[in-house]
Amino acid sequence: MPTPHISASDDAFAEAVLLPGDPLRAQYIAESFLDGATQITNVRNMLGFTGAYKGMPVSVMGTGMGVPSASIYITELVRNYGVKRLVRVGSCGGISTDVGLREIVIAIGAGTDSGVNRARYGGWDYAATADYELLAAAVAAAKTSGHTVHVGNVHTSDSFYNPVADALAIWQRMNVLAVEMETAGLYGIASEEGVRALAVLTVSDHLITSEETSSSERERSFDDMVLVALDALVVDHGQ
């Protein structure tokens, strides 16, 4: 049955879903990387598609920006559509100077200023972490395709324009690799629902060096990240 935010039929989604923030990126992934992709939902223009990659059924669905928006779609995908494996593909701002522009960051865990995981966990601090098998598959896929990959913690922020004056210093002190806006929500829901999740990110800008990617560079690194995520799903599927 359709949900308040997804109009797809019951069996429209594959068990594996890629999650970009931007719905037009979902369309781009479907058209560029999936075979036989069809659009399955468009409520609020939050587009979703199902097709196949290397013979494996896979869906792709936009989430919007931030934990609240992404949590709506992720929760409905899992509870109403039976999705079992979810891989966020998105951009992040580099924090660690070891992390270069356009390189891939795989989030082993996500700290956050969002309250969602404390709400889930009785006010305690939940360790929001990736699924190990998906993570290992993504690291292997990135190495096979020759991409530089960094595995570590990210910070999921509710604020793109962060009001905390020393946020950058705190993240650096704690050796956080990068900042973005959805992963802690994804990992919290996955834990609660007993499904598997991973965030594969590309560094679009660097908060310490102030470097930024051009739009053509962003496209190329986005493609690299999507292929790592899709290959990780295939490798994980075969295990």
Q: Using CB under 6 A as the criterion, which residues of the chain lie in contact with ligand HPA when the complex forms?
A: 91-93, 157, 160, 179-181, 204-205, 207
**Terminal-to-terminal C-alpha distance of the chain:** 32
Q: Say how many residues make up the chain.
A: 239
* Cα four-point dihedral sign 67, 69, 71, 73: negative
Minimal CA–CA distance to 148: which of 198, 194, 203, 96? Answer: 203
Q: CA–CA separation, 105 vs 65, rounded Å?
A: 18
Q: How far is the CB of 178 from ligand HPA (least distance, A)?
A: 8
E-state strands within the chain: 16-19, 35-41, 48-53, 56-61, 85-94, 104-112, 149-156, 178-180, 196-206
Q: How far is the CB of 65 from ligand HPA (least distance, A)?
A: 8
Q: How far is the CB of 238 from ligand HPA (least distance, A)?
A: 32
Nearer to ligand HPA, 57 or 100 (CB): 100
Give the catalytic positions in this structure: 205
Nearer to ligand HPA, 85 or 155 (CB): 155
Residue nearest to ligand HPA according to CB distances in the complex: 93
Nearer to ligand HPA, 78 or 89 (CB): 89
